[in-house]
Amino acid sequence: MDTTMPTDIDTLCVDTMRTLAMDAVQKANAGHPGTPISMAPVGYELWQNHLNFDPADPAWPNRDRFVLSVGHASMLLYSLLHLTQTVALDAQGKPTNTPTVSLEDIKQFRQLDSRTPGHPENHVTSGVETTTGPLGQGLANSVGMAVAERFLAARFNQEGHALFGHKTYALCGDGCLMEGISYEAAAIAGHLGLGNLCWIYDSNRITIEGSTALATSEDVKARFTAAGWAVAEVMDANDRAALRAELRKFAEGAHGDKPTFILVHSVIAYGAPHKQGTKEAHGEPLGAEEVKLTKRFYGWPEDAQFLVPDGVYAHFAAGIGARGAGLRKAWEARFAAYKAAFPALAAEIEAMLAGGLPAGWDAEIPVFAPDAKGLATRDSSGKVLNAIAARVPWLMGGAADLAPSTKTNLTFGGAGEQEAGSPGGRNMHFGIREHAMGAMVNGMALSKLRAFGSGFLIFSDYMRTPIRLAALMEVPSLFVFTHDSIGVGEDGPTHQPIEQIVSLRAIPNMLVLRPADANEVAEAWRVALRQTHTPTCLILSRQALPTLDRGTYASAAGLARGAYTLIDAPETLMVDGKPAVILIASGSEVALCLSAHKMLTEQGVGTRVVSMPSWALFEQQDEAYRQGVLPDAVTARVTVEMGSTIGWDRYAGPKGVALGMHGFGASSPLKDLLPRFGFTAEAVVEAARRLIKQE
């Protein structure tokens, strides 16, 4: 080892992290070296001396969570996962003997199929708690995780048997705190008194365009004090002793029920002689010569690349490795004792952690009797949700101040309100904070709760990023959206969704369900709760829809296949065993198609009605089933949905027609809106007859 290198083992470890980061970014010729370099002392201090995390079992249930909200600084996290020798998990979530991030993986930073993508992805790299990159998302995720820990402690901890008591840490930067979601998340964290949550703010005062002074001048400490946080300040990121003192205060509960905000001043790319403190250090490689000069500043061999000096692995193993293993083994012993004393609660924990559901979880889901007047699918959803939640103790969530409208309030005995003084409550009041709600739901789902958030469909646009990230992360978050069309009525086009449903359907690995009546709603919830790696958007109506007589129409269980023949043409009107026309719809428009079916049948036109609540589920069926529902031989097809027609051409076919919205709606009672925009049985019949005539 070069004698000019640091002899202090802590400094050696920090500089190893720094040089791995700059080498990886330089080799990839892409990435963000500045923050991993300047924050290396902070990451090292937190992981080595405070974080309760076992590298030998990175999914241990009571581990502390570390969220890298500044996802572009991914090499900070990758270097920690590598140097702590954290192992990868197998498909069942069990530890393997393979490192989650090897030195070779670091050399393959940002390369195809590597475990070191440009921004951390939890489904790619074990030890990454949540996928981050869009700034601020990780902060709201961390709030959801902190809520989940408090809930788990309230639900499961018993006198003398404390199983849950972990902390959640998030590292954020200037960009995270400029994003609006950080304001939402900070406000609700302070309101809830999340004393188990600590945000560490890297105040390097640099963004892509230059100094933060270009765009902000707020007093961040005052902002967080006003939000009810305990605020501390560390003047130099290299002062590990000062940071250690603040982290100990947090861990020891010195701030009570206040979440902790630690502002750490840093110099981006510390040690780079020409680029430290500049915007150039933020999002581009330092350059080969600057890397050498920076290594010289650290007393590092200038030409050495990806060097891990002797003693570094061992030091991490003696610190976080030994501490984490001891805590994890002690927890396992406590859980064994807990299981003997409280077998029913232990069974709940095991089912929850495995992504399962209790036996009989759907036994009380109501069956809705036929009713021509019916009820809104938001109303039937509320009944179904309560029937399920009463039997799934870890199902919890709420609305963005809209629970009375979305019908998501849990009303069964003991449901309770999730508030500062009642952490076991299952009704979450997110406030008018849709963006934070979506990301908090993801954080709760990552903590193994079955979490839901709800609002009006039009406001799903506020939640776009967390909804997309739920799909990318493969977590079964639940999003309940009501007021799903121009059926909103008098509130007008500002509240009438047009493009929202198709935009949600466009997200890969997103299950969108738009049920047609109360019994399809029941089946939709069954399908949604069975998902383990796919989030669900449940799309519900404001207006009442008829509850169909399933003695006349096909079983609502067909929803699980995405689309099914609800009613077919009478045999006497079939031609070669096929109908003349197929009407295809989702949600409220299914009833419209049934009215058209009746009229066409009376006119002697063989008509099939297909309920299609989910494109995604239908596409998963085999070819024989899809052909059975939508045979190629029947080209006269009409699709009906009170939204954008984009995508419906796939099911209407080249000779069919898609009835939908081609502009915004209007403020009016629904009875006047429907004929204005062509959503009448007569319009469907006319479209069908026109297609048949063309053939």
- The whole-angstrom separation of Cα 303 and Cα 300 is 9
What local confidence, expressed as pLDDT, does residue 3 receive? Answer: 44
What 8-state DSSP symbol labels residue 414?
Answer: T
For tokens 């009409």, what's the residue?
638
What count of other Cβ atoms lies within 10 Å of the Cβ of residue 360? 8
User: What are 513-543's pLDDT values in tens digits?
Assistant: 999 999 999 999 999 999 999 999 999 999 9
Of the pLDDT bands very low, low, confident and very high (cuts 50, 70, 90), residue 5 is confident
Distances (CA, A) of 395 to 152, 188, 585: 11, 20, 31
Hey, where are the domains in the chain?
9-326, 371-545, 555-694
What local confidence, expressed as pLDDT, does residue 219 receive? Answer: 98
Query: Is 434 a residue of the active site?
Result: yes
- The whole-angstrom separation of Cα 323 and Cα 338 is 22
Closest CA to 356 of 327, 395, 383: 395
User: What are 563-584's pLDDT values in tens digits?
Assistant: 999 999 999 999 999 999 999 9
Looking at residue 376, its amino acid is A
Cβ atoms of 42 and 80 within 8 Å: the answer is no
Instruction: Report angle CA 283, 285, 290 to the nearest 5 degrees.
Output: 130
For tokens 């330089």, what's the residue?
26
Instruction: Report angle CA 462, 648, 612 to the nearest 5 degrees.
Output: 85
Q: β-strands 637-644, 657-661: how paired?
A: parallel
State the chain's maximal CA–CA distance in angstroms: 95
Alpha helices in 4-136 (DSSP H): 9-28, 34-38, 40-49, 74-83, 103-107
pLDDT mean across residues, the chain: 97
- The whole-angstrom separation of Cα 361 and Cα 393 is 10
What local confidence, expressed as pLDDT, does residue 289 receive? Answer: 98
Cβ atoms of 509 and 482 within 8 Å: the answer is no
What 8-state DSSP symbol labels residue 205?
Answer: -
Pick the catalytic residue: 45, 179, 184, 434? Answer: 434
Of the pLDDT bands very low, low, confident and very high (cuts 50, 70, 90), residue 2 is very low
- The whole-angstrom separation of Cα 539 and Cα 482 is 6
Distances (CA, A) of 605 to 143, 417, 610, 667, 681: 57, 55, 16, 36, 14
User: What are 366-403's pLDDT values in tens digits?
Assistant: 999 999 999 999 999 999 999 999 999 999 999 999 99
Cβ atoms of 320 and 47 within 8 Å: the answer is yes
Strand partners, 207: 210
User: What are 397-448's pLDDT values in tens digits?
Assistant: 999 999 999 999 999 999 999 999 999 999 999 999 999 999 999 999 999 9
The CATH code that applies to domain 9-326 is 3.40.50.970
Question: Which residues touch 187 (CB under 8 Å, ≥6 apart)?
Answer: 227, 431, 433
Closest CA to 84 of 164, 20, 133: 20
Q: Give the SS3 label for residue 133.
A: coil
Instruction: Report angle CA 280, 281, 283 to the nearest 5 degrees.
Output: 80
CA dihedral sign of residues 651, 657, 662, 666: negative
Tokens representing residue 408 in the block: 């998501």
Q: What is the DSSP string of 459-471?
A: GGGGGHHHHHHHH
- The whole-angstrom separation of Cα 578 and Cα 332 is 62
Burial of 692 by CB count in 10 Å (0-12 exposed, 13-18 middle, 19+ buried)?
middle
Tokens representing residue 218 in the block: 């707020």
What local confidence, expressed as pLDDT, does residue 419 receive? Answer: 98
Q: What is the CA radius of gyration of the chain?
A: 28
What count of other Cβ atoms lies within 10 Å of the Cβ of residue 666? 15
Q: Give the SS3 label for residue 208.
A: coil
675 phi/psi in degrees, rounded to 5: -70, -30
Cβ atoms of 430 and 437 within 8 Å: the answer is yes
Closest CA to 299 of 1, 40, 4: 4
What local confidence, expressed as pLDDT, does residue 1 receive? Answer: 40
User: What are 663-692's pLDDT values in tens digits?
Assistant: 999 999 999 999 999 999 999 999 999 999
User: What are 312-324's pLDDT values in tens digits?
Assistant: 999 999 999 999 9
What local confidence, expressed as pLDDT, does residue 6 receive? Answer: 85
On the question of a common fold for 9-326 and 555-694, the answer reads: yes
Mean pLDDT computed over 632-655:
98
Cβ atoms of 241 and 253 within 8 Å: the answer is no
The CATH code that applies to domain 371-545 is 3.40.50.970
Conformational region of residue 614, where left means phi above 0, alpha means psi within -120 to 50, and beta covers everything else? beta
pLDDT at 111 over 80: yes
Mean pLDDT computed over 643-665:
98
What local confidence, expressed as pLDDT, does residue 646 receive? Answer: 98
Mean pLDDT computed over 103-110:
98
Q: Give the SS3 label for residue 223.
A: helix
What count of other Cβ atoms lies within 10 Å of the Cβ of residue 16? 28
Of the pLDDT bands very low, low, confident and very high (cuts 50, 70, 90), residue 695 is confident
Mean pLDDT computed over 270-282:
97
Tokens representing residue 222 in the block: 């005052």
- The whole-angstrom separation of Cα 81 and Cα 65 is 13
- The whole-angstrom separation of Cα 369 and Cα 631 is 32
**Count, residues in the chain:** 695
Mean pLDDT computed over 230-234:
98
Closest CA to 312 of 19, 630, 660: 19
What count of other Cβ atoms lies within 10 Å of the Cβ of residue 92? 6
- The whole-angstrom separation of Cα 139 and Cα 154 is 23
Q: Domain 555-694 has what CATH class? A: alpha beta
pLDDT at 479 over 70: yes
Q: Where are the beta strands (DSSP E) in 93-190?
A: 95-99, 168-173
User: What are 124-180's pLDDT values in tens digits?
Assistant: 999 999 999 999 999 999 999 999 999 999 999 999 999 999 999 999 999 999 999
